[in-house]
């Protein structure tokens, strides 16, 4: 236990670097919204959002390097159930016109 006690904290510079990365991501996604990429507009916007969310979960919420594996399992299960909610609902609504 004791060797895990001071595990999660990174340096101040590291957190600021992640913050700058998130701001760059925001600027990129706003810039991309003004370019007409057809069906790729939503894909790129949601891809950037997912990268940003992953950075926040891993480094700001300290899931990467958490001492308790159970916490990691709970986090993954949360997103897993969200994925079930979205995929099954959209699998229904997206295919209703296929007759």
Partner 1 sequence: MHDSQTTTVEHEAHNPALLHHFADAQQQKNAASLGMWLFLVTEIMFFGGMFCAYLVYRLAHFNAFAAGSQQLSIWMGATNTAVLIVSSVTVVLAVKAAEAGKRKLLVGYLVVTVLLGMTFLTVKGFEYREKFEKHHVPGPTFKFTDTFDDNGKQIPVNPKEAQLFFSLYFVMTGMHALHMIIGCGLFSVLAVLAWKGHYTPGYFTPIENAGLYWHLVDIIWIYLFPLLYLISRHS
- Smallest CA-to-CA distance from 33 within 22, 44, 23 is with 44
- Here's the x/- map for partner 1, 9-38, by CB under 8 A: it reads as x--x--xx-xx--xx--x--xx-xxx-xxx
Selected binder of partner 1 within 78, 91, 98, 99 (CB under 8 A)? 78
Q: Look-up: residue for tokens 């370019």? A: 35
Q: Count the Cβ atoms, other than its own, within 10 Å of residue 13.
A: 8
Give yes or no for residue 65 binding partner 1 (CB under 8 A): no
- Between residues 60 and 64, which has the closer beta carbon with respect to partner 1? 60
Structure tokens at 85: 């909610």
Task: Please name the residue ranges forming H helices in 56-68.
Answer: none
Q: How would DSSP label each residue in 46-73?
A: HHHHHHHHHHIIIIIS--TT-S-HHHHH
Chain residues binding partner 1 by CB under 8 A are 1-2, 4-6, 9, 12, 15-16, 18-19, 22-23, 26, 29-30, 32-34, 36-38, 41-42, 45-46, 48-49, 52-53, 56-57, 60-61, 66-68, 70-71, 74-75, 77-79, 81-82, 85-86, 89-90, 93-94
């Amino acid at each position: 236990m004791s060797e895990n006690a001071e595990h999660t904290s990174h340096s101040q510079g590291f957190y600021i670097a992640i913050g700058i990365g998130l701001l760059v991501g925001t600027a990129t996604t706003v810039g991309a919204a003004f370019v007409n990429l057809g069906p790729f507009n939503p894909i790129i916007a949601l891809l950037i959002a997912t990268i940003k969310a992953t950075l926040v979960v891993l480094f700001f919420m300290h899931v990467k390097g958490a001492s308790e594996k159970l916490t990691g399992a709970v986090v993954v299960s949360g997103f897993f159930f969200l994925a079930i909610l979205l995929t099954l609902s959209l699998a229904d609504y997206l295919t209703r016109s296929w007759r």
